[in-house]
Structure 1
Amino acid sequence: MSTVAVCDTQPIAIEGLRSLLESAESLRVVAAENTVMDGIGAVRELRPSILLVDKAFGYQAVSDWLAMLRSSPVPVATIVWGSSFSEVEAMRFIQAGASGVLRKTASLDTVLECLRTVERGNTWMSGDMVRDLDRLPHPAHSPLTARELQVMEAVERGCKNKHIAAELGIQIGTVKIHLKHIFEKTGIRGRYGLALSGLKEKGLLSMSAGQ
């Protein structure tokens, strides 16, 4: 049986999720905390398979926790959930290390789909969080060069232009030129769309049809 820990700012949300999961086979809530520190302690002690953490704790607090979990010897599939997400917010959490992003308004079927997907080691998000879902992935009009592929992979990891330039030993202006060519060749708009496309093309991202 897979174990789930929940860390949320609102106790009523925790109880609601616990009630929802009571009807699910092979999933059991083993911890329910309403502060990040208590949540960290519960994860260290109980080592759940899946962690749901509230977006309302703030991006910095959640991303710091995600960084801590990435360095942990015991993997925990972490889902960030909240009342609403923009495409940019969702992708920022994925790039920070979240296995999934989920709206609190999701149906039970959607919640279970998300939990089971991240437990298998895949990344999950709702398709309606992405404006241009039909464009992902989009075949390149012409092949990307080796350098363009390096830039694209760095974008998938969430690297900024200055970090990409330093990593590849090139100028920031050159990075911008490579990105312009990548966007033209793939037909994808924006670096978040590019990152989503890369994850989906590699089979690392599962999307629901919407909620």
Structure 2
Amino acid sequence: MIRIVLVDDHPVVRAGLRALIDGQDDLSVVGEADGLERALAVVGADRPDVVLMDLSLGDGKAGGAEITAAVRALPEPPEVLVLTTYDTESDILRALEAGARGYLLKDAPPAELFAGIRATARGETVLAPSVAATLVRRTTPGATTITEREVEVLELLSRGLGNKEMARELFVSEATVKSHLSHIYTKLGVDTRAGAVAAAIERRIIRA
């Protein structure tokens, strides 16, 4: 039996997932959590094989990537399979770098979700097709790749922050921020801050 913990801040979503998963003979939901502290407590107590992790947790809670990193830092940690609505490059990279084994989208058919859970429990990598395509684009020779720091700059740009505010957020100088912006403009083929944000959203580098 594969033991699963659900991490999602929507009780209705957790209830729906539990009903689906518990209908499988070899899968069992043993716990639920809606944030970091509860997730660590439940994982420590129930010793699941897989944590099914949402990325976007509201009300100022720690994000799914942060919770993933904390879960994976535990002794003998479970595997983490992300299940989210977002397939932007920034979300994908943060989740995988935090230690997630796989990344599926919430519009996946139940059969795909069940297969993903089983594969994750075996230690296999599971990626939704659009997620795999995004990662392939990043590793294609000659492709223009936005760096992790440039993604952070784009996200701050989308929030309307100025150079001084971005420098403070990123703990760098304003000159460094301007350098990042210059590289971003060149890579995205734009010449304004608004154009950079629009292009990044269109290419699913950051969320709208």
Tell me the TM-score range normalised by the shorter chain.
0.5 to 0.7
Could you tell me which runs of 5 or more consecutive residues in structure 2 were left unpaired when the two chains were aligned. Answer: 142-146, 151-208
Counterpart amino acid of residue 50 in structure 1 = V
1:83 to 82, 85, 104: 85
1:84-123 to 2 correspondences below 5 Å: 84-123=86-125
Contact 1:6 1:29 in 2 (8 A): yes
Deviation at 1:132, TM superposition (A): 6.0
Map of 2:50 onto structure 1? 50
How many residues align? The count is 144
Counterpart residue number, 2:71: 69
Letter in 1 for 2:37: M
For 2:160, the equivalent position in structure 1 comes to none
Please give the alpha-carbon distance, in whole angstroms, between the structure 1 residues aligned to 2:51 and 2:44.
Answer: 11
Report the RMSD for the aligned CA atoms in angstroms.
Answer: 2.9
Shift of 1:101: 1.4
Q: Report the counterpart of residue 23 of structure 1 in structure 2.
A: 23
- Using the size of structure 2 for normalisation, the TM-score is 0.59
Change beyond 3 A, Cα 1:55–1:64? closer
Give the corresponding residue for 1:8.
Answer: 8
Judged with a 3 Å threshold, the aligned counterparts in structure 2 of structure 1 residues 32 and 134 are, in CA distance, closer, same or farther, namely: closer
**d(CA) in 2 for partners of 1:21, 1:14:** 10
Where does the alignment leave 5 or more consecutive residues of structure 1 unmatched?
141-157, 162-211
**More RCO (CA 8 Å, sep 6+):** 1
SS of aligned partner of 2:127: strand
Residue 103 of structure 2 contacts residue 131 of structure 2 at CA under 8 Å; is this kept in 1? no
- For residue 86 of structure 2, give the secondary structure of its aligned residue in structure 1: coil
Helix, strand or coil for the counterpart of 1:57? coil
State TM-score, norm by structure 1.
0.59
The verdict on how the C-alpha distance between 1:137 and 1:70 changes in structure 2, with shifts beyond 3 A counting, is same
Q: Using the alignment, how far apart are the partners of 1:103 and 1:118 within structure 2?
A: 15
For the residue of structure 2 that corresponds to 1:21, the secondary structure is helix
Instruction: Give the deviation of 1:133 after TM superposition.
Output: 7.4
Q: Is the 8 A contact 1:100 1:118 kept in 2?
A: yes
Cα 1:57–1:114 shift into 2, 3 Å: same
User: What's the CA shift for 1:47?
Assistant: 0.9
Identity %: 25
Shift of 1:44: 0.7
